[in-house]
Amino acid sequence: SQQGEEDPQALSIQEGENATMNCSYKTSINNLQWYRQNSGRGLVHLILIRSNEREKHSGRLRVTLDTSKKSSSLLITASRAADTASYFCATSANQAGTALIFGKGTTLSVSS
Amino acid sequence: DSGVTQTPKHLITATGQRVTLRCSPRSGDLSVYWYQQSLDQGLQFLIQYYNGEERAKGNILERFSAQQFPDLHSELNLSSLELGDSALYFCASSGDRRGGYTFGSGTRLTVV
């Protein structure tokens, strides 16, 4: 079963605009990660934010985490056509014997 | 190239058959994870191995089994295949359970 739930399911924007995707989760986490998947290919790890962090940056990516609301957001600034992909949040639970649980993803389309 | 190698890339087989998917993790990674991705179920965690031992189990059917060998490569065996088993099967590896995963490019299984 999915732990994370991304919103929106699909997002279409123009090149140069910012894209914001949200993720909500249900249980206590150790960290939350974001991944990108180009159509039919493997997932690529983008960024990891730990449960005691509130914001993290990596290039044009900005991730926030609100553990009280059990939610995270991924902001991609100045989007490019090459950012067109599906984006997934994944949560790492605090307990041993568990693996990353992925949401269903947000499909981002950036047109030029 | 992510460093995680999956073979074969594509597999077409008939219902009732058995197949084996193979994964070589990134050099130095002791953990291997198997995921199934389908349109309706999203990315589902199946099973994790760490240094040859089963470490975590997800939504893996009894018809499916996996193992990790001393050289750390892993195999996922799918038997009595059904049409609904058609999906992308991903292998991922990590050096730290709480870190990011490196995904392979997947095996696309089509059951006819």
Angstroms from B106 CA to nearest CA on chain A:
6
Asked if B45's CB is within 8 angstroms of A103's CB, the reply is no
On chain B, the residues whose CB falls within 8 A of the CB of A45 are 100-103
Per-residue pLDDT at A95: 72
Instruction: Read off the tokens for A107.
Output: 């499909």
Residue-level pLDDT at B90: 98
| Cβ–Cβ contact B70 with A under 8 A | no
**pLDDT, tens digit, 9 for 90 and up, residues A41-70:** 999 999 999 999 999 999 999 999 999 999
Chain A: residue whose CA lies nearest to B41: A104
Radius of gyration of chain B (CA): 13
> Which residue stretches of chain B have pLDDT < 50?
none
How far out from the chain centre does Cα B39 lie? 17
Q: Is the CB of residue A18 less than 8 Å from the CB of residue A75?
A: yes
Q: What is the mean pLDDT of residues A78-92?
A: 96
